[in-house]
A = this chain, B = another copy of it.
Amino acid sequence: MILIKNVSAILDKETYRDSVNIVIKDSTIDFVGDNPPESEYSHIIDGSSYIALSGFVNTHSHLAMTLMRGLGEDLPLKDWLNKVIFPLESKLTYDFVYFASLLAAIESIKTGTTTTADFYFYPNATLKALSEIGMRANIGIAYASKPFMDNAIIKNVETRFKELVDKDSKILISLAPHAPYTVSQELFKLTLSLSKKLNAKIQVHLHETEQEVLDYLKTYTQTPIEFLASIGFLDENVIAAHCVWVSEKDIKILKKRNVWVSLNPESNLKLGSGIAPINKFVEAGLRLTVGTDGVASNNNLSVLESVRLVSMLAKGISRNPRLLTTNEAFEILTYNGAQALGFENVGKIKKGFKADIILIDKNTVNLIPNYSPISNVIYSMYPTDVDTVIIGGEIVMQNKRILTVDEEIVKDEFKKILKSFFD
């Protein structure tokens, strides 16, 4: 049992308490209030200099792309993929993905992320990495039918899913068909059946660039979203990343079918893909979450930076500063993300919820004054202001030091493999 004593806390998007006690029993928040029960606590954290809040949730990332940070700058998506990313990815190994995922997980935790989505090559290596460091995650089995594979891949997907599911209580496994421009309509149908059979969520890239939507319309006379809706694919089990180029009709479909949208504004801007109509999404009441995408196109893993940009863009493109309040942004960053990835009791500081809690020093210069604690998080805090990270009741970082893996060893091993990669 852990007791966080006399801590200021943002309990959820609407509730701030100046001083409260939080008790964690096993993986769960057991008490939030003034008079904590007497008990033999294994850890008592003096919270008087901290603000506690739910850890952040990153709903779209490819962690092991830390390999490619800063490669192929200033290129458009297509060239960047074909000339830089794909050739490198053909040389990936299990070990590399493992260390690259660990490196990414360290950065994620240091910037307050307690739950992440991921899909990439060697999901087993990423699972091992996240399990060791202690992150909550939804890891997708990534696949496509073109240009490298065919629809028969779905059998391997099922096998690999079964190998990974239930390996770690904090990690869910999902299906991750890459995108409509690399996945055939037939393979989407097979994916749908498999997701029902396995009761698995689906992560997918959707409507990221204008060209992919135009090409699809030309070939199929439907947008990808229209097609996917027509086969019953779109529902609350789908996390649709990007959604930059969507029509009013597409938005209605996403709303009607309760699809979770993962906004990735940094990647979309940087690759020149464009700006999602976030204001329309907010007005339509879509289920919004936020992701970083891989660091190759971002180029860091702070989902706080991403939600800050989502908030600013919503106001800026609509020229309506009332749109997307700080409270809503906070929910997008925490509870919404957790829901999207399939974690029901994650994303609030509340009895019965999983203990995914971060502490920030409330005397940090950029968090003074503290009129609006949630605004300070959304707009003022720097990503590395996070001091302590607890995930599922485990203290993963304290005083800015990762406790569950040796950061220096991870960096050394990563650099060694990186060197061999280019030799």
A interface with B by C-beta (< 8 Å): 66-67, 69-71, 73-77, 80, 103, 106-107, 110-111, 210, 266, 268-275, 295, 298-302, 305, 309, 311-313, 315-323, 325-326, 363, 365-366, 368-372, 375-376, 379-385, 407, 411, 414-415, 418
Contacts and interface: CB of A to CB of B under 8 A. Distances in A.
A10 to B, nearest CB: 13
B383 A76 contact: no
A301 to B, nearest CB: 7
Given A312-B270, A380-B300, A382-B382, A372 B107 contact: no
B75 A366 contact: no
Contacts of A379: 70, 270, 298-300
Chain copies in the assembled complex:
2
B316 A103 contact: no
A316 B316 CA distance: 14
Contacts of A383: 382
Chain A to chain B: the 5 pairs with minimum beta-carbon distance, closest first:
A269-B316, A272-B321, A70-B372, A269-B312, A299-B379
A381 B302 CA distance: 10
Given A70-B369, A371-B70, A271 B75 contact: no
Nearest to A367: B69
A385 B107 CA distance: 12
Contact of A316 (B75, B274, B299): B274
Given A299-B375, A321-B74, A382-B384, A316 B366 contact: no
A77 B322 CA distance: 11
A69 B379 CA distance: 9
A272 B312 CA distance: 8
Given A270-B379, A274-B319, 14 more contacts: A66-B368, A70-B370, A71-B371, A73-B372, A75-B321, A76-B322, A103-B368, A107-B366, A110-B366, A271-B321, A275-B316, A299-B375, A365-B411, A384-B385
Contacts of A69: 368-369, 371, 376, 380
A275 B317 contact: yes
A74 B320 CA distance: 9
Nearest to A76: B321
A323 B316 CA distance: 21
A63 B368 CA distance: 13
A301 B379 CA distance: 11
Contacts of A74: 315, 321-322, 325-326
A414 B323 CA distance: 32
Given A365-B107, A369-B418, A371-B69, A270 B321 contact: yes
A383 B311 CA distance: 19
Contacts of A319: 210, 272-274
A106 B367 CA distance: 12
A70 B380 CA distance: 8
B366 A71 contact: no
A404 to B, nearest CB: 14
Given A379-B299, A415-B368, A73 B326 contact: yes
